[in-house]
Amino acid sequence: MPETAWGFEIAPAEFESWILFEDSELLAVNKPGGVVCHPSKRGPRSSLIGAAREFRGLDPLHMPSRLDRETSGVVVFAKNKAAGSRLQKQIELRQVSKRYLAILQGRLERRMEIREPIGLCPDAAVKIRRAVRPDGKSAVTAFEPLETSANYTFVAALPQTGRMHQIRVHAAWAGHPIAGDKIYGPDETLYLEFVEHGFTPRLAQALPLRRHALHAERISFAGGPEFLAPLARDLIDFWRAQPALQGEAP
């Protein structure tokens, strides 16, 4: 997948390797981090949906839900309006189960469930930034620790609602922001710098990895189907490189 000054240009063979499932109605892919879901002015090969339309000859193509650019994992497309409406309805009725994997800063000792409303963050430098606020929309996320290193916790994140940036907002609010998060991590101006200049030396010094460590591992719809995406290689490599807790075997 060639990287350009503006992002990634998706190659046909690369896209084919991302396909998890395909039938007459649905197409599920394992999106890499760094690939945008929605259409881009840079042409069809600059976005996931654009590449799917071009390489698979699928137009129209419906995307009931999407992932942030830096989030990797399962994205499901519907090949016709009826299938798209059916999936969208299940999402609205909360008849969809999702499981994410994430690497959080710090040590999370036990399961944590956050029930805090989310809305736009007032006076934020990044206009899309969200925050926990009393007048926000209801949001619920559970975090289950799976493994712990000296400085990070590998968790399963289970959102019960679907607010924008929900997992990232709740993790940061709890004091355990997602590793590598440019908006909800140490300094939101890192995101503005990244948009303007790419991954600069300042970002490399401030962040432990090039993108935020969040992966959509599983999505299942009421009555089926269920789609699973193996954890992205960059997150596997980052986690394996972390030093173990003192006294634990490496």
Q: Which residues are catalytic?
A: 68
8 Å CB contact between 46 and 7: yes
- Find how far residue 215's CA is from the centre of its chain: 5
Alpha carbon distance 147, 247 (integer Å):
15
Q: What is the dihedral of CA 218, 61, 39, 2, to 10 degrees?
A: 70
Q: Map tokens 């300042």 to a residue.
A: 202
* Bridging pattern class, strands 72-78 and 214-221: parallel
Using the CB atoms, write b or e for 221-249: b if 16+ within 10 Å: beeeeebebeebebbeebbeebeeeeeee
Q: Map tokens 């007459």 to a residue.
A: 24
8 Å CB contact between 117 and 138: yes
DSSP 61: -
